[in-house]
Amino acid sequence: MGADPRIGARLGELPSRSADAGSGRGGEGDPAMSPDLRLQRVLDRFELVSGIGEPREGTACVVSLAAHLAGEGHTDRPACASPLVRAFAIPVNDHMPRGARQRLKPFAPRLIGTNDGLDRARAEVLRRALVEAILPAASGERRASPPDGGPAWRRAGLVRRLRTRLLRGALLRRIDGLLEEAESGRGRGQEVELAGAAGDLLALCGRDAWDEREAEWCWDQAIGLLDRLCEVDAQGRPGAAVGVGVRAGGPALLETGS
């Protein structure tokens, strides 16, 4: 299956890079270049940042980059993307450390076409992840005290740690309430709110983790869940082939083939 035609059209609008020295080819306008290679070249020109970014300066968040690829202009509310996936992805994008945030870049093309009416199925994936992994870990903060007797507490400061606990507690109560309503059948229409709360929770846990290992666990959970949300009926979407082989920030899009 080929790449989403909207992506192809957008790539065709971009100015071609100068050809590789002495080769006479290799720019993005080269007809011999596969669509996936051209897409990878475009992604390489962007840095993901906190906030919506500015495409003219080569910056974007993962959602506004999806909008750019789909030709929707400069927005973080693209019509091509699932509202549920968007609500989850934005807080994760905005609070990830700069280097780790670049792991989200391959998800930009995968967001295109997810506004397909399947957010109820995605909500079930989200609820399962919350109940089975995220909430048990977040409720216990994954460790009762900072490693090595408390340096992390001193660095963060008592006020900040107390504020983090309060925010985490509020998010946990909010998520618990939304899950209870969903289980009782009263939560229809609240799927996007649940996704945003889940993204906020993982972002808070990752940002204020005791150590790098705990932070990495949180960001891995966020990326893995984003992957599963994008994967719902992925093979039924026109752009499915673009995302093949892109899992948790792993293999480059170059591996998808033409």
Q: Do the Cβ atoms of 20 and 26 come closer than 8 Å?
A: yes
| pLDDT the model gives residue 93 | 98
| pLDDT the model gives residue 32 | 56
Which position has the token pair 């984003």?
226
Give me the number of domains the chain comprises: 1
Domain that holds residue 104: 5-256
pTM here? 0.74
From first to last of its 258 residues, the chain has per-residue pLDDT tens of 444 544 444 444 433 333 333 333 445 555 556 777 888 888 999 999 999 999 999 999 999 999 999 999 999 999 999 999 999 999 999 999 999 999 999 999 999 999 999 999 999 999 999 999 999 888 875 444 455 545 554 455 544 555 666 777 888 889 999 998 888 877 678 999 999 999 999 999 998 887 899 899 999 999 999 999 999 988 766 554 444 333 333 333 333 333
| pLDDT the model gives residue 138 | 85
| pLDDT the model gives residue 31 | 56
